[in-house]
Amino acid sequence: MNVYVAKSTPISTENGIAAIGVLAFKSLIISIIVGALFIYAMLHIKQATAADLKMVSVINEDVLRVGDIFENASGKADIVIGRAPLPGQDMTLNARTLMRIAKSLNISWQPQSVLDQVVIRREATMIGFDTVNTSLKQALNDKAGLSNLELVVNESLAGMTLPKGEPATADVQDIRYNPQDNSFVATLLAPSAERPLKRFKVTGYAHKLIEVPTLASSVKRGDIISASDIQMVELRENMLSRNVITNLADLQGMAAAKDISSSQPIRTMDITLPQLVDRGGELTIIYKAGTMSLTAKGKALQNGARGELIRVVNLASNKNLQGMVTGDHEVTIY
């Protein structure tokens, strides 16, 4: 029988150190992985239980609740923590205030920075200018018999708000009008005199408007103004001078005495009777005596507008005469 004896291989010091290092490295990797998994699990547990901050919260109640500030508030969302801002207004809660609220109610939340905040915005019904304007005009008509007005209100109407859901209406409780300077002071109740949730004081001026004829487009000196050239506009009465033309009939058919711009009040000095007869131009002379009428050729010695008396010469008799301009290139002698 043959017997074999295995040879033993001696282990060197260097190889032993290397083996220990490999084992240590593997242990470190395992520790890192386990630690990462632990942190990941803890973060997810925290995210599942921690409250989240709302950046902007829109509410329509008179009170502020936990749920208006925090999401996932652990069943505490309906707890009232204070008064809400007025309708139409905002309120900002900074990080310190939020931390104090969370701590007092044992809510799991920590600010990420001092810049953390929540803006609480109260919904509202806004009472617009058109509503106020209509109510004031009606009150001025009832009180002072004023109509066709342009109102200028001194106060900003941004603060005229009501709780969400209320009608955007207002009644005039009282109004005082001063005809010396057209000023007024009024008290409004909103949404109505029967349900006066809010009271507003409004001051301003009531300007009487009158309709005046103006030009739709500019005209040059000497142009005849026809009906198609005229547009009616409403202007404040106290801004018009006494010589402004207010009657359409006083403008139609007249000639521009100067260049006139569009959309501007027209004064009596801006227009003139249209020139129907030119000096030196030929015209027709009409002789009238009772029911009899004769015509002759003539020449104008003067310019003339309708209704003016001018001197003419009869070309047949070479006699100077005086007649009234009654039409285009026409003079009548009575």
- Position 43 scores a pLDDT of 46
Given its phi and psi angles, is residue 326 left (phi above 0), alpha (psi -120 to 50 degrees) or beta?
alpha
Residue 41 lies in a domain: no
Backbone angles phi, psi at 232, to 5 degrees: -95, 135
User: Do 92 and 156 belong to one domain?
Assistant: no
* Side chain identity at residue 124, one-letter code: A
What's the predicted TM-score (pTM) here?
0.61
Asked whether the bond before 191 is cis by omega within 30 degrees of 0, the reply is yes
Which of 136, 141, 165 has the alpha carbon at shortest distance from 153?
A: 136
Closest Cα to residue 45, out of 104, 108, 98?
108
Q: What single-letter amino acid sits at 211?
A: E
Question: Residue 129 and residue 262: Cα distance in Å, rounded?
Answer: 30
> In the block, which residue shows the tokens 């349900």?
195
Which parts of the chain have pLDDT scores under 70? 1-50
Nearest CA to 223 out of 173, 177, 180, 257 is that of 257
Same domain for 293 and 249, yes or no, is: no
**Residue 208 token pair:** 């009487």
**Position 327 in a domain:** yes
pLDDT value of residue 27: 62
- For residues 176 and 220, state if they share a domain: no
What is the structure's pLDDT at 249? 92
Tokens of 287: 């002789």
CB 260 within 8 A of CB 219: yes
Q: How far apart are CA 65 and CA 59, in angstroms?
A: 10
**By three-state DSSP, how is residue 204 classified?**
strand
Decide if 323 contacts 333 (C-beta within 8 A): yes
Element holding 33 (H helix, E strand): helix 13-49
Domain membership of residue 252 (yes or no) is yes
> Based on the domain organization, do 65 and 111 belong to the same domain?
yes
Do 135 and 199 reside in the same domain of the chain?
yes
- Count of structural domains within the chain: 4
Residue 300: the pLDDT is: 96
Bridge-partner residues for 147, per DSSP? none
Instruction: Output the domain CATH number for residue 228.
Output: 3.90.1210.10
Look up residue 218 and give its DSSP letter.
-
Same domain, 151 and 93: no
Residue 156: the pLDDT is 85
Distance, CA of 151 to CA of 153 (rounded, Å): 6
- Residue indicated by tokens 């304007």: 133
Statement to judge: residues 216 and 243 lie in one domain: yes
Assess if residue 257 is contained within a domain: yes
Please name the amino acid found at residue 171. Answer: D
Both tokens of residue 113? 């920075």
Asked whether the beta carbons of 301 and 314 are under 8 A apart, the reply is no
Is residue 199 one of the residues assigned to a domain? yes
Rounded CA-CA distance 2/22 in Å is 41
Strand partners, 285: 296, 331
Alpha-helix residue ranges (DSSP H) falling in 226-292: none
Is 187 found in the same domain as 144?
yes
For residue 34, tell me if it sits in a domain: no
32 φ, ψ to 5°?
-65, -45
Domain extent for 240 = 210-272
Residues 283 and 239 in one domain: no
